[in-house]
Structure 1
Amino acid sequence: MEAEVPPPAATQGYLLGGRIRYTQPKDGYRTGIEPVFLAASVPARPGERVLEAGTGAGAGLLCLERRIGGLHGIGLEIEPAMAALAAANFAANGYSGLAALCADVAASPLPRLLGAEPFDHILSNPPWHDASGTHPADGLRERAKMAEDGLLERWIARLAPRLKPRGTITLILPSRMIPEALAALGAGGCGSPVLFPLWPRPAREAKMLLVQATKGGRAECRMLPGLILHDGPAYTLAAHAILRDAAALDLQRR
């Protein structure tokens, strides 16, 4: 019998300017702004089914549910301790429509775990750091961040079949992974891709982009103007509205 994994030391905090109670590990992997922007860009409606791959402590689904309400969401997370934190965060905020499952997105039998019904939307902030680089000392941070060759392709290949026709899949990725993502999305039948750069400051290179594609979409790839994150030491008004006020990013109508 395997020994039970002890939960990591945790800190109590908030997301979206105090609108969401949020517990996360005290050390190692800490939530950044990525899941907040990711959740802001998902065009979900109340009552729809949403899947988050690599949910961590649940920040993405928490922010999405706070903005939309009435969702049926499942977060997949490979680390048992993090999946437990996500489930606790969902319960602490009274989001009974959200659930966390401990599963490896690239290897688990997803249809059995998730049921036969497809999802309206899928979102993910997948591991993307080069596995050949320096590895973090903290185990949770390493598994959340480091990605061996082909991991993104395998994730998309597993996730795309779980989408309804005209459903969306939304990712947040570094710029160097955009060609791989677009190829994998196309192979999975997800087209009409939209790219949305997150510029750190004016006239600076965008290191991160939101990528959204539609199951069965046939339109050409679009590059949107994107959003500037910082104005001096502070966030821009547009970024602040997303990070603190739960504002939406509509990538489909821009």
Structure 2
Amino acid sequence: MDDLTRDAFLGGLVQLLQPRVGYRAGVDPVLLAASVPAQAGQSVLDLGCGVGAAALCLGARIAGLSLTGVEMQAEYAQLAARNGGGRLEVVVADLNDLPADLRERQFDHVMANPPYFDRKAGLSGQNAAREAALGEATPLAVWIKVAAKRVKPKGQVHFIHRAERIPQILEALPDHMGSIEILPISPRIGRAAELVILRARKNGRAAFKLHAPLILHEGARHLRDGDSYAPRIKAILRDGTALDF
């Protein structure tokens, strides 16, 4: 256990074992999970599930979901299975080579927190696990293609990603993915959005929606020690409330 930490999410409702060194789940998968409007009895697929943060936070908010995660790194997949305690089915696989039985299944919701950075445009990190989580080895277009294939008709896909990657996400979405909505996420009032949550519906026909930004922190700048999360964000991170948009 010396190389692992146990971290509390949703005010302690979710407890996750994570590597002490390397990629560690933070706020982003919690926001992603909060944005998924799943209902009891539905199925959810988390692509690149890591230690299970998004899937287990979603399962803690909505009882009665069938949760499946795909993770390429065996160490993280094993931790996700341990963290899930039987609530999360974990498949160790590369998105480019999913097992045949998984390729035959479709889900009501597919969510993903793909690696943010294109390593062809920058330097790789030194920690292999963190690099695999943050550095884009599998092209973003593949994540989107797989999500669109694995979602049921009328089901939704949900991504959290860097704002500057919006054009690539939109370009990669197949034509049958419609009813696109984008929620910009800004660190503070007056600051440009750094992240976005994007959702789309299979065979959806609603008009495109660009929502008002979600502001993470109170005030125009950081003035004191400790967190300064806005009340809505505190409710999501600590109480497990939904992120409706």
* SS of the residue 1:46 aligns to: coil
- TM-aligned CA deviation for residue 159 of structure 1: 2.1
Q: Which runs of 5+ in 1 are unaligned?
A: 1-6
- Residue in 2 that maps onto 1:210: 197
Partner of 1:181: 169
* Pairing 1:83–2:77 present: yes
Is the partner of 1:75 in helix, strand or coil? Answer: strand
Q: Which residue of 1 aligns with 2:225?
A: none
- 2:27 partner amino acid: I
- The structure 2 residue matched to 1:52, chosen from 43, 46, 50, is 46
**1:1-254 alignment, distance < 5 Å:** 9-91=3-85, 96-105=86-95, 107-110=96-99, 112-114=100-102, 116-132=104-120, 133-148=122-137, 151-185=139-173, 187=174, 189-232=176-219, 233=222, 234-251=228-245
Contact 1:38 1:171 in 2 (8 A): yes
3-state DSSP of counterpart to 1:218? coil
Q: In structure 1, what residue type is equivalent to 2:179?
A: S
Per-residue deviation, 1:180: 1.1
Aligned length: 237
Partner SS for 2:97: coil
- 2:72 maps to a residue whose letter is I
Displacement after TM superposition at 1:188 (Å): 5.5
> Matches of 2:235 and 2:68 in 1, distance apart?
26
Say which SS state the counterpart of residue 135 (structure 1) adopts.
coil
| TM-score normalised per structure 1 | 0.89
Provide the identity percentage. 40
Query: C-alpha distance in 2, partners of 1:56/1:50?
Result: 15
Q: CA RMSD in A?
A: 1.6
In 2, the alpha carbon distance for the partners of 1:8 and 1:219 equals 50
Distance 2:98 2:22 in 1: 29
Give the deviation of 1:219 after TM superposition.
2.1
Check 1:65–1:119 CA distance in 2 against 1; reply closer, same or farther (3 A cut).
Answer: same
Q: Secondary structure at the match of 1:144?
A: helix
Q: Secondary structure at the match of 1:43?
A: coil
Where does residue 4 of structure 1 map in the other structure? none
Secondary structure in structure 2 of the residue aligned to 1:28: coil
Matching residue's letter, 1:146: G
Kept in 1, the 8 Å contact 2:193–2:213? The answer is: no
Instruction: Normalising by structure 2, report the TM-score.
Output: 0.92
Q: Tell me by how many angstroms 1:57 deviates.
A: 0.4
Q: Which runs of 5+ in 2 are unaligned?
A: 223-227
Shift of residue 83, structure 1, vs aligned partner = 0.1
